[in-house]
Structure 1
Amino acid sequence: MNQISLLQGILLALMAFIVGIDFWLEGLFIFRPIIVSTLTGLILGDVRIGLVTGGLTELAFAGLTPAGGTQPPNPVMAGIMATVLAYTTGKNENEVIGLALPFSFLMQYILLFYYSIFSFFNVKLEKAADNADGQSFRKYAIIPMIIVAITYALVVFLSTYLAQDLMRNLVNSLPEWLTHGLEVAGGVLPAVGFAMLLNIMFKLEYLPYLVIGFILATFIEFPNLLPIALIGASFALITYFREKNNANANKEVFLTDEKEDYSNGI
């Protein structure tokens, strides 16, 4: 078991502030769990835990995307707290995914509350736009983003530094049957997340690639996942270049059909 220092707590809060801005803008997508967990592990001095928890949490949240005004469980808090819990409690990576979900739900409801009260700024933005007041428009557009970013920083600092002893004692006091259940649930969640992603992206023509990937990952022993990732990238490139060549061929056929025949002088 490890202790999070004040400096590490501040660095985690600063990271959460930056990630909160990116989550609001959806600019660089560093708010995804695979990035957030890796950065958290780097700050805590254990990149391996960050990579493992980040990969598992990313799979669990892969199919959860905002739709309209709805908000799914928050991926930022899930990524940060899964890594922090694995680091401070010594629990395995599958188990901490289940333990990190309450923090993800907490941030989800905070954001939903913010999105409700931020309608106040819409009126101000519309008025600034009607008056061509660029300075006021920028101000009212930036204020909600800063509020969200500060909230991320505060929640992360409180959860990772101030409440770490409470969390550790709570986790250690859980009965064995419950911790085992969380471990099983944590092992299932990545599969559920991947299935939700496939439900959106799956096409029958890509089924052979899925079967090949499943066989490689399940029945052939590799020292790590790099060979499978390279094979998957190769299949992606094959598909990309084939579709590109087909598109160019169809374009040439279309242009050829459009040309008129002047061989008879008419």
Structure 2
Amino acid sequence: MIAWWQIILLTLYAGFQIMDELHWYSSAGSAVFSGFITGLIMGDMATGLYIGGSMQLTILGVGTFGGASRIDANSGTLIATAFAVSSGMDPEQALAVLGVPVAAILVYTDIAGRFANTFFGHMCDADVEKMNWGAYNVHYWLGAVSWMLSRMLPVFLALAFGQPVVEAITAALNGDFAWLGAGLTVAGGALPAVGFAILLRYLPVKKHIAYLILGFVIAALLGTLFTNVAGVAGDVATAAAATETAINGGDYNSLSMLTIALIGFALAYIYYVQNKAQAAAPAAAAAVEGDDDDEL
């Protein structure tokens, strides 16, 4: 169960994170930070960071332009983390069943907050014309309150009254509908790939394909390196013995041929593009000189 003080703290944070996203930009209004804070309050930061990181990757290529509304990934992360910890739900299931749907539904409360903010904005305009600065300050902060309530109210209602529903969903997904729960777990794990796909859709991938390949390979290699280092760090004696064996003629783990081929292709492509540009430069300069001679 979610304690009353946890509900209060999470509700207050829901209001704070939207104001941070609009004004202060301290990164508290991000899905990763939302998962961290919610996990800290609920007593399970690992789950919070997992859900927050997954949600952050899911919306990696999603942006809002002008007055457009977008899904509220921060509140979705908050709700998914809170119920995943309190109900024992699998984090990937919580992301797919609660996080993404809640984030999508809160688009409507975002629109309501924007409408209310517009109302108070007109009141601020009237106060400026009348030079009534005291009323202006009040109406300005009421506009901020409308933004905060657009997150705080749905989060409070979900945390205070949604526990039985979430527990029933969890029991069903772990019981008669285990097949559906397994499918949603797979969907939750695949959601970050959607975020990457959206991001790559807007990036100049064709122009910089070599750097994309290098970045992917280097990230994979560093992930393997850090995993091995973490394992070795657990036992210094074993690491020393392994090092001595390697120095005295032990076998080294070699890179796969696919890794070497990808690195070679990326470097060769970069070399080709750079030399193509250098070869085209003298020709362009000669063409310009020829035009100048014609004019003379």
TM category, shorter: 0.7 to 0.9
Please name the residue that 1:127 is paired with: 126
Please name the residue that 1:213 is paired with: 215
Task: Provide the TM-score with structure 2 as the length reference.
Answer: 0.67
- Do residues 10 (structure 1) and 11 (structure 2) align? no
Deviation at 1:184, TM superposition (A): 2.2
Residue 59 (structure 2) aligned to one of 61, 77, 86: 61
Please name the residue that 1:22 is paired with: 20
1:67/1:114 CA distance change after superposition, 3 Å: same
CA distance in 1, matches of 2:15, 2:227: 34
| Structure 2 counterpart of 1:4, one-letter code | I
RMSD of equivalent CA atoms: 2.6
Contact 1:20 1:148 in 2 (8 A): yes
Contact 1:32 1:76 in 2 (8 A): yes
1:98/1:18 CA distance change after superposition, 3 Å: same
1:141/1:29 CA distance change after superposition, 3 Å: farther
Which stretch of structure 1 is more off in the superposition, 54-63 or 15-24?
Answer: 15-24
| Structure 2 counterpart of 1:141, one-letter code | Y
Residues 52-88 of structure 1: per-residue CA shift (max 9 Å, x gap): 1111110011222222232111112122122123212
CA distance in 1, matches of 2:100, 2:153: 18
Deviation at 1:202, TM superposition (A): 3.9
Residue 43 (structure 1) aligned to one of 29, 41, 44: 41
Which stretch of structure 1 is more off in the superposition, 27-36 or 167-176?
Answer: 167-176
Please name the residue that 1:89 is paired with: 87
Please name the residue that 2:149 is paired with: 150
| Structure 1 counterpart of 2:13, one-letter code | M
Contact 1:77 1:103 in 2 (8 A): yes
Please name the residue that 1:254 is paired with: none
Unaligned 5+ runs, structure 2 = 231-296
Contact 2:172 2:178 in 1 (8 A): no
1:16/1:183 CA distance change after superposition, 3 Å: same
Residues 139-170 of structure 1: per-residue CA shift (max 9 Å, x gap): 22221211221342332222224322321112
Name the SS of the counterpart of 2:224 in structure 1.
Answer: coil
Task: Provide the TM-score with structure 1 as the length reference.
Answer: 0.74
CA distance in 1, matches of 2:107, 2:81: 19
CA distance in 2, matches of 1:226, 1:106: 43
CA distance in 1, matches of 2:205, 2:127: 46
Unaligned 5+ runs, structure 1 = 228-266
Deviation at 1:96, TM superposition (A): 1.7
Please name the residue that 2:171 is paired with: 172
Contact 2:116 2:146 in 1 (8 A): no
CA distance in 2, matches of 1:140, 1:201: 41
Please name the residue that 1:251 is paired with: none
Contact 1:31 1:75 in 2 (8 A): no
CA distance in 2, matches of 1:215, 1:189: 22
CA distance in 2, matches of 1:139, 1:127: 13
Contact 2:121 2:143 in 1 (8 A): no
Residues 152-196 of structure 1: per-residue CA shift (max 9 Å, x gap): 233222222432232111232242232223222212211111222
Identity level (%): 26
Name the SS of the counterpart of 1:221 in structure 2.
Answer: helix
